């Protein structure tokens, strides 16, 4: 006996239009910049951007400083998630990017390995604030907001603080060693110890910056939490105390 056809009570879902990233950047004449390298719009954009990130990170990695405490490194997965979602933003939100250079290393864009955002959060969507800029070809440093997982960020912040404290202990020991060496009698030993001390101070500063970034994100997410605000202020003070000059120069 033939079965009767029945109509579903659920309305069909219209397919979501997928905007091609290469076309979006080309149509709006948006150039990317990774470190000092420009990535022009065009075919195979993601692959070229990924290569630029790998090259920039290679020059910024530092001996004995884990990537998770290196505030200069971009996260390839975050960059890709960010770029894939960019064409899906409202046209009014991305209009200021037209004819501009989008700086992927912008501190408030949150694409670094040490940022509070995860690739999954960026892939799920984000808000982008783009400063007005009248000049064509100008470098744009946007601000991004996305969902965060405070518990995971707290764990990472505590880890960065511990690393900073360990580097601080090491730096103080090396400072004493430098002071105990007679510079005139053993100049080579003094130079070697001073160089080691400088490297430890660099690691300490980066760990402090990572702690500050994560502690600040927690404090902003919980504006009524006084202890979170206190930890953010403490981290800010540590960054100011341990600041050192950048190693890769001004871009």
> What are the tens digits of pLDDT across the range 133-163?
668 789 999 999 999 999 999 999 999 999 9
User: Given this model, what pLDDT does residue 10 score?
Assistant: 34
Residue 122 structure tokens: 């960026």
User: Could you tell me which of 137, 140, 36 has the C-alpha nearest to residue 93?
Assistant: 140
In the three-class reduction of DSSP (H, G, I as helix; E, B as strand; rest coil), residue 69 is classed as: helix
Query: 136 with 160, same domain?
Result: no
List residues bridging with 103 in a β-sheet.
33
Q: β-strand 139-140 against 101-103: which pairing, if any?
A: parallel
Query: How many folded domains does the chain comprise?
Result: 2
Asked if 134 and 154 sit in the same domain, the reply is: no
**Domain identity same for 55 and 90:** yes
Provide the pLDDT for residue 8. 30
* 15 inside domain: no
pLDDT value at position 249?
54
Rounded CA separation 246/251 (Å): 11
Domain termination site, one of 88, 120, 145: 145
In this structure, the answer to whether residues 45 and 123 fall within a common structural domain is: yes
Q: Which residues of the chain have pLDDT under 70?
A: 1-18, 133-134, 184, 248-251
In this prediction, residue 137 carries a pLDDT of: 82
Could you tell me if 108 and 213 lie in one domain?
no
Within 8 A by CB and 6+ apart from 40, the residues are: 31
Residue 112 forms part of a structural domain: yes
For residue 79, the model assigns a pLDDT of 98
Q: Are residues 34 and 92 in the same domain?
A: yes
- Structural domain for 219, as ranges: 150-242
Whether residue 8 is contained in a domain is answered as no
pLDDT of residue 218: 96
Residue 192 lies in a domain: yes
> What are the tokens at 13?
């879902």
Q: Are residues 138 and 166 in the same domain?
A: no
- Residue 141 to residue 99: CA distance in whole angstroms: 14
One domain for residues 61 and 137: yes
Q: What pLDDT score does 132 carry?
A: 81
**Residue 29 falls in which region: left (phi positive, over 0), alpha (psi -120 to 50) or beta:** left
In this structure, are 107 and 155 located in the same domain?
no
Q: What is the pLDDT of residue 134?
A: 61
- Is 168 strand, coil or helix? helix
Q: What is the pLDDT of residue 1?
A: 44
Residue 16 lies in a domain: no
Nearest to 209 by CA among 110, 115, 82, 139: 115
- Give a yes or no: residue 172 inside a domain: yes
Last residue within a domain, chosen from 118, 145, 172:
145
Strand partners, 190: none
Clarify whether residues 77 and 136 are in a common domain. yes
Count CB-CB contacts under 10 A for residue 167: 24
Same domain, residue pair 67 and 126: yes
3-state secondary structure of 52: helix
* 23-27 CB contacts, 8 Å cutoff, 24+ apart: 24/86, 24/87
pLDDT the model gives residue 4: 40
């Amino acid at each position: 006996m033939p079965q009767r056809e029945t109509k579903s009570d659920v309305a069909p879902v219209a397919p979501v239009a997928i905007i091609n990233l290469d076309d979006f950047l080309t149509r709006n004449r948006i150039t990317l910049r990774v470190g000092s390298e420009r990535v022009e719009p065009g075919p195979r954009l993601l692959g070229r951007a990924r290569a630029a990130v790998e090259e920039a990170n290679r020059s910024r990695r530092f001996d004995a400083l884990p990537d998770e405490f290196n505030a200069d490194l971009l996260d390839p997965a975050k960059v890709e998630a960010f770029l894939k979602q960019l064409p899906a933003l409202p046209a009014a939100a991305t209009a200021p990017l037209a004819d501009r250079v989008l700086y992927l290393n912008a501190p408030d864009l949150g694409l670094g390995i040490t940022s509070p955002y995860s690739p999954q959060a960026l892939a799920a969507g984000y808000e982008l604030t783009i400063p007005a800029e009248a000049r064509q070809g100008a470098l744009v440093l946007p601000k991004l907001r996305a969902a965060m997982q405070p518990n995971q960020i707290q764990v990472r912040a505590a880890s960065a603080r511990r690393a900073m404290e360990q580097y601080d202990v090491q730096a103080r020991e090396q400072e004493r060693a430098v002071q105990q060496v007679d510079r005139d009698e053993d100049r080579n030993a003094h130079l070697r110890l001073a160089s080691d001390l400088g490297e430890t101070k660099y690691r300490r500063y980066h760990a402090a910056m990572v702690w500050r970034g994560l502690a600040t994100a927690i404090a902003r997410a919980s504006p009524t939490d006084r202890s979170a605000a206190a930890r953010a202020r403490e981290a800010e003070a540590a960054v100011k105390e341990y600041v050192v000059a950048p190693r890769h120069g001004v871009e």
